[in-house]
Amino acid sequence: MKTVRILSMAGGHTQLASLWLARSHKGVNIFQQFHHSLVICGYSLCLVAMVVISGCEKITNISAPEPNDSTTVLKASDFQPASSCKNCHPKHFDEWSGSMHAYALEDPVFLALRRVGQSQYINALNGLCEGCHSPIGKRSNEIKWGPISAESLSPVTQEGIGCDACHTITSLSRLSNAGFVLSPGTKHGTLRDPQANNVHASTFNDLYQSSEYCGSCHDLVTDAGLGLETVFREWRQSGFQMTGKTCNECHMATYSGTAAVGGPVRTVHDHRFIGADIALISFPNQTDQLAKVTAMLRGALTVSHDIPASVTAGSNLPLRVTLTNDKTGHDVPSGVPFIRQIWVSLIVRDQQGATIYQSGQLDANGDLMDKHSGFPERDQNLFNTQASMLRADSSETGFPWDAAYLTNPSIKPGETRVVDYQVPVPGSASGTLSVEIKLRFRSFPPYVIRSLGLENLLPIPIIDMAELQQTVVIQ
Ligand code: HEC
Ligand code: HEC
Ligand code: HEC
Ligand code: HEC
Ligand code: HEC
């Protein structure tokens, strides 16, 4: 087991306790719902002006991460932007520049959602989002409440999660909600014998090999203990923790190369951080990122099917698709499961090519035909993993800061999910039927993108995780 330094502090313990609570209740904490949408008026003098304007200040369900736990006051100028690492670490720079970490503060969906959150909650969301999406912007207080305008930020803040945001993490204060301690200066990493250079000091820190390190951002928990993003927690409960297979083993592939120009050949780590997502705006290395993400998604589940070789006309053709999560160290999908979609698309055609059955097709807006479709037709047999966030009164919300519950049908590590269909075969059918099945992924449903006023980002690319075809003889 790797040792991980966790500072012992009150906030940390509360958080760990709530992690445990939520774990025993499958992520749904029914005890503290009253926290949710608690609305109080004029509770603080400094908010009086806003209260006058808005009438009321709402309290969100997620507190902004605590300020940096180190005693130093941080300034953006204490950190160096990625561009200053580029000459000596060109490979790391190139890989990182196309990653979702580099995208974190430019991400148009992030920016739009943050805008909505701030408009709904006036001041309460201050600093929450950028706590993980631009740690240096948050800890230096450079990103203020209100729209983020790139021009007013220093380069190191603009770059979201850059080299220094990760490599100056020295320890953790909790395993979620931006619970890392940043101490600018020495670069921490996992080289045990880093060569000296005249720009920075280097030090070995085994925290960087641990999943806990990633978990400090890859777990987002509400004050009531509801896990909204629980990648780390899912991993911790999976068999992958037992076998010591950490995040990096899947997300930072190793290869032989130099850690810095002119340095010795070593085992180094891929900084593309391939997952399920790709940039929706023009971004470095996009084609490469899409190819790698596609491969990652195609390797995430074992997909098999059970389709009879023949069927009698006038009877039902039973079709079974089996999805097993035996390869991924957390739920599939994970991260932000309330906006990710993995669904089964099925089309059965007769010998003339006419469709006799379908599920998982898109409406004219590109949405799946469930309750979110703008059209009346419903797909009764749809299989879709998208989670729903619910308010305390069980109504659905698209906003994490309103959520009191999460119903999450994503496929857990080790779980096998069976999807069954009964296809009525017309009595008049003859010859053969063709069955086409696809398992499809997309990072955002179009209705979410439209609701944020981001139509220009449509269509969202769909990645096929598996596809299969079979012919069935009609008897
Ligand atoms: C003048 C060249 C130079 C510049 C500029 C530079 N580095 Fe390095 N860095 C090195 C060398 C040399 C090593 C050691 C490589 C080795 O031993 O294989 C290194 C090692 C590292 C390590 C590994 C530390 C460890 O102990 O595991 C990290 C992390 C790192 N650098 C980050 C950065 C970051 C972040 C920047 C920009 C803010 C940066 N470096 C800028 C030359 C440089
Ligand atoms: C055994 C391999 C494996 C391990 C271990 C693993 N992952 Fe993943 N991860 C994957 C695969 C495959 C995918 C793509 C399927 C998916 O989206 O779930 C993925 C996707 C993701 C995503 C995108 C999820 C989404 O659907 O949007 C994030 C974020 C992520 N991983 C972070 C982590 C973190 C953090 C850890 C450690 C706590 C971790 N992963 C451990 C294999 C792994
Ligand atoms: C999301 C956090 C994160 C970001 C962003 C990041 N790194 Fe790293 N880096 C790591 C981790 C974690 C390791 C160690 C991986 C391991 O040993 O499993 C590492 C390892 C390294 C190493 C040691 C050699 C190697 O590949 O193992 C260097 C050098 C390095 N990073 C430089 C950089 C530079 C330069 C940037 C920006 C262009 C950067 N990193 C951005 C997390 C990050
Ligand atoms: C400082 C916070 C922070 C740390 C530390 C961090 N991440 Fe991330 N990571 C993020 C954020 C925020 C995003 C999403 C950015 C976006 O898309 O807007 C992300 C995105 C990702 C993605 C892409 C997700 C997708 O849907 O494809 C992967 C994979 C990932 N991180 C893996 C890791 C791993 C592995 C580590 C540990 C070595 C790590 N991260 C450490 C904040 C962090
Ligand atoms: C605890 C750290 C943390 C905080 C706080 C946080 N996020 Fe994130 N966010 C992440 C991580 C990690 C991911 C990547 C998950 C994945 O891709 O699967 C992410 C992904 C996202 C995505 C999806 C990005 C994409 O391109 O797929 C959006 C949108 C987003 N966050 C918006 C927000 C907003 C708005 C806030 C503030 C209300 C916020 N986040 C607060 C860590 C955080």
pLDDT at 315 over 80: yes
Does residue 43 surpass a pLDDT of 60?
no
Is 84's C-beta closer than 6 angstroms to any atom of ligand 1? yes
Residue 31 has pLDDT above 80, yes or no: no
**Domain C-terminal end among 285, 314, 329:** 285
Residue 80 belongs to some domain of the structure: yes
The answer to whether residues 82 and 187 belong to one domain is yes
Lowest-confidence pick of 20-34, 256-270, 376-390, 416-430: 20-34
- The reply to whether omega before 333 is within 30° of 0 (cis) is yes
Q: Which atom of ligand 4 is the closest one to the Cα of 107?
A: 18
Question: Closest residue (by CA) to atom 29 of ligand 3?
Answer: 259
Average pLDDT over residues 87-110: 98
Indicate if 96 and 193 belong to the same structural domain: yes
CATH of the domain at 315: 2.60.40.1930
Whether 69 is covered by a domain: the verdict is no
Type of residue at 430: S
Mean pLDDT for all residues in the chain: 86
Q: What pLDDT score does 55 carry?
A: 33
Is 68 within a domain? no
Which residue puts its alpha carbon closest to atom 22 of ligand 5?
Answer: 110
> Would the pLDDT of 231 be above 60?
yes
Q: Which of these ranges, 32-36, 110-114, 242-246, has the smallest mean pLDDT?
A: 32-36
Residue 175: is its pLDDT beyond 80? Answer: yes
CA distance 90 to 220: 32
Q: 134 and 27 in one domain? A: no
Q: Do β-strands 463-474 and 310-311 pair in parallel, antiparallel, or remain unpaired?
A: parallel
**DSSP string covering 149-185:** -GGGS-HHHHTSS-HHHHHTEEEES-SSTT-EEE--S
Where does residue 123 rank: exposed (0-12), middle (13-18), buried (19+ CB within 10 A)?
middle
* Domain C-terminal end among 285, 307, 326: 285
pLDDT digits (tens, 9 = 90+) for 125-172: 778 899 999 999 999 989 988 888 888 899 999 999 999 999 999 999
Please check the confidence at residue 51 and state whether its pLDDT lies above 90: no
| Same domain, residue pair 186 and 326 | no
Structure confidence at residue 463 (pLDDT): 98
Q: Do 266 and 172 share a domain, yes or no?
A: yes
Is the predicted pLDDT of residue 8 greater than 70, yes or no? Answer: no
* Contact (Cβ atoms closer than 8 angstroms) between residue 168 and residue 183: yes
Q: Work out how many domains the chain is built from and give that number.
A: 2
Is the CB of 332 within 6 Å of ligand 2? yes
Is 357 part of a structural domain of the chain? Answer: yes
Give mean pLDDT, residues 431-437. Answer: 98
- The answer to whether residue 65 sits within a structural domain is no
pLDDT per position as a tens digit, 335-391: 999 999 999 999 999 999 999 999 999 999 999 999 999 999 999 999 999 999 999
Q: What is the pLDDT of residue 118?
A: 87
**pLDDT of res. 72:** 58
Confidence of residue 296 (pLDDT cuts 50, 70, 90): very high
For residue 294, is it within any domain?
A: no
Instruction: Tell me the CA–centroid distance for residue 43 and ligand 4, in Å.
Output: 36
Is 334 a pocket residue for ligand 2 (Cβ < 6 Å)? yes
Same domain, 256 and 340: no
The predicted pLDDT at position 223 comes to 84
Alpha carbon of residue 423 to chain centroid: 35
- Pocket around ligand 5: residues whose beta carbon is below 6 Å from it? 107, 109-110, 113-114, 117, 125, 128-129, 131-133, 177-178, 217-218, 220, 229, 275, 277, 335-336, 401, 443
pLDDT(36) > 80: no
Both 18 and 147 in a single domain? no
Residues 161 and 103 in one domain: yes
Supply 454's token pair.
């981001």
Instruction: State if residue 89 touches ligand 1 by the CB under 6 angstroms criterion.
Output: yes
What confidence score (pLDDT) does residue 7 get? 27
The pLDDT, as a whole number, for residue 128 is 86
Point out the domain boundary residue: 285, 318, 346: 285
Return the pLDDT at 56.
Answer: 36
Q: How close is the Cα of 134 to the center of ligand 5, in Å?
A: 11
Per-residue pLDDT, 65: 61
**Does residue 28 register a pLDDT over 70?**
no
pLDDT at 15: 31
Q: Both 244 and 335 in a single domain?
A: no
Choice between 466 and 7, residue whose per-residue pLDDT is larger: 466
Residue 206: other Cβ atoms inside 10 A: 14
Mean pLDDT of 217-225: 91
| Mutate which of 252, 273, 281, 444 for ligand 4 pocket (most atoms within 8 A of beta carbon) | 273
* 42 residue type, one letter: G
* Portion of the chain with pLDDT greater than 70, in percent: 84
Same domain (yes/no): 142, 28: no
Residue 152 lies in a domain: yes
What is the band of 248 on the pLDDT scale with cuts at 50, 70, 90? very high
160 shares a domain with 89 = yes
Q: Which domain holds residue 426?
A: 2-57+299-474
Residue 432 included in any domain: yes
DSSP string, 208-222: GGSHHHHHTTS-EE-
Is the per-residue pLDDT at 67 higher than 60?
no
Q: Which residues line ligand 4 (CB under 6 A)?
A: 100-101, 103-104, 107, 110, 132-133, 135, 161, 165-166, 213-214, 216-218, 247-248, 251, 273, 275-277, 335
331 pLDDT above the threshold of 90: yes
For 440-468, what is each residue's pLDDT tens digit? 999 999 999 999 999 999 999 999 999 99
33 and 127 inside one domain: no
> Residue 47 C-alpha to ligand 2 middle, in angstroms?
41
Instruction: Please tell me the predicted confidence (pLDDT) of residue 124.
Output: 66
Q: Which amino acid is at 442?
A: R
pLDDT tens-digit map of 102-131:
999 999 999 999 999 888 876 667 788 999
Structure tokens at 196: 């000296």
Rounded to the nearest whole angstrom, what is the distance from the C-alpha of residue 227 to the centroid of ligand 4? 17
